[in-house]
């Protein structure tokens, strides 16, 4: 069941790549009105501020980089960047965005399944946006082992993700998940089952503490949460 859902999740993001940025930019089916869009943009600005305040530099690994909403920001600040994602259609868009930047560090794109991929080098920062909620509980520990194995001693992670916001929960066929499974619909009506585990900062900090991470969490409002940290000493 998990395997099916995880492959369907990749199929979904492959098919969704051409329309993915509509979600981020609150266009078309994702337009919930000017008030919501203003709130969304203000929260994105706060997220960017949180990423910058935490510091981006050195060798950076972006997991599930997708169409590049965050890759461009990372590529302007990192010394070297590796971007991993399972959807070639998303990576192609990401590449095009990077090519349009006047200044970017060297970037390596890796098309791979994060549930079986292992890093071949270590990084100062592991960054992932809107990814952790797609990791099922059964893979949670193994995923954090992957993050740990990708970091140099003292290296840090930064994650951000969506919160469950009832005000926009019905947009574009995304209802509250039934357990860990959510059904998503593309603009043409095709439907996919994906993993969606909404988390909240306190619970996330507790879980990561149990796994040996020292973590700081925050929220920007109803839409997003973030967390950053490193392996606890001792
Ligand atoms: C919600 S999107 C986030 C993309 C990007 N980080 C952003 O903020 O826009 C989730 C991404 O995870 C990727 N993905 C889904 N399953 C994956 C897997 N098993 N291995 C690697 N990437 C996967 C999808 O292709 C998609 O680009």
Q: What pLDDT is attached to residue 3?
A: 74
pLDDT given at position 165: 80
Rounded to the nearest angstrom, the distance between the alpha carbon of 78 and the centre of ligand 1 is 21
State which residues form the domain around 215: 33-168+202-231
Identify the residue whose C-alpha is closest to ligand 1 atom 18. Answer: 113
For residues 68-101, b (16+ Cβ closer than 10 Å) or e, as one string?
bbbbebbbebbebbbbbbbbebbbebbbebbeee
Ligand 1 atom with minimal separation from the 20 CA: 9
Protein residue whose Cα sits closest to atom 13 of ligand 1: 64
Residue 69 lies in a domain: yes
Q: Does the residue 18 lie in any domain?
A: no
> CATH number, domain at 77?
3.40.50.150
Tens of pLDDT, residue by residue over 129-157, are 999 999 999 999 999 999 999 999 999 99
pLDDT of residue 232: 84
Count up the domains in the chain and report the number. 1
Per the domain annotation, does 190 fall within a domain? Answer: no
Q: Is residue 85 part of a domain?
A: yes
Segments in the chain below pLDDT 50: none
Q: How far is the CA of 66 from the centre of ligand 1 (A)?
A: 5
Q: Is residue 182 part of a domain?
A: no
Atom of ligand 1 nearest to the CA of 160: 8
Which residues form ligand 1's pocket by a CB distance below 6 Å? 6, 9-10, 13, 64-67, 69-70, 85-87, 90, 113-115, 129-131, 134
User: Residue 219 domain-assigned?
Assistant: yes
Answer whether 0.85 is exceeded by the pTM: yes
| Closest atom of ligand 1 to CA, residue 113 | 20
CA dihedral 56, 58, 59, 62 (to 10 degrees): 10
Please tell me the predicted confidence (pLDDT) of residue 63: 99
**128 in any annotated domain:** yes
Q: How far is the CA of 101 from the centre of ligand 1 (A)?
A: 22
CA 188 – CA 197 distance, rounded (Å): 25
Q: Is residue 187 assigned to a domain?
A: no
């Amino acid at each position: 069941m998990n395997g099916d859902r995880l492959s369907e999740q990749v199929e979904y993001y492959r098919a969704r790549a051409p329309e993915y940025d509509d979600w981020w930019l609150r266009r078309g089916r994702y337009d919930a009105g000017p008030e919501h869009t203003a709130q969304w943009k203000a929260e994105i600005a706060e997220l960017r501020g949180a990423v910058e305040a935490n510091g981006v530099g050195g060798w950076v690994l972006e997991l599930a980089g997708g169409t590049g909403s965050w890759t461009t920001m990372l590529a302007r600040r990192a010394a070297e960047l590796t971007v991993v994602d399972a959807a070639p259609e998303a990576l192609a868009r990401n590449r095009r965005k990077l090519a349009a930047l006047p200044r970017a560090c060297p970037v390596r794109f890796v098309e791979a399944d994060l549930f079986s991929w292992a890093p071949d080098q270590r990084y100062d920062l592991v960054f992932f946006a809107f990814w952790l909620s797609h990791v099922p509980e059964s893979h949670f520990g193994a995923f954090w082992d992957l993050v740990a194995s990708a970091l140099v001693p003292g290296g840090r992670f930064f994650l951000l993700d969506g919160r469950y916001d009832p005000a926009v929960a019905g947009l574009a066929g995304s209802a509250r998940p039934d357990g860990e499974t959510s059904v998503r619909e593309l603009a043409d009506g095709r439907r996919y089952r994906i993993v969606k585990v909404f988390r909240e900062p306190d619970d996330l900090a507790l879980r990561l503490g149990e796994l040996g991470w020292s973590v700081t969490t925050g929220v920007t409002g109803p839409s997003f949460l973030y967390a950053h940290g490193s392996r606890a000493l001792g």
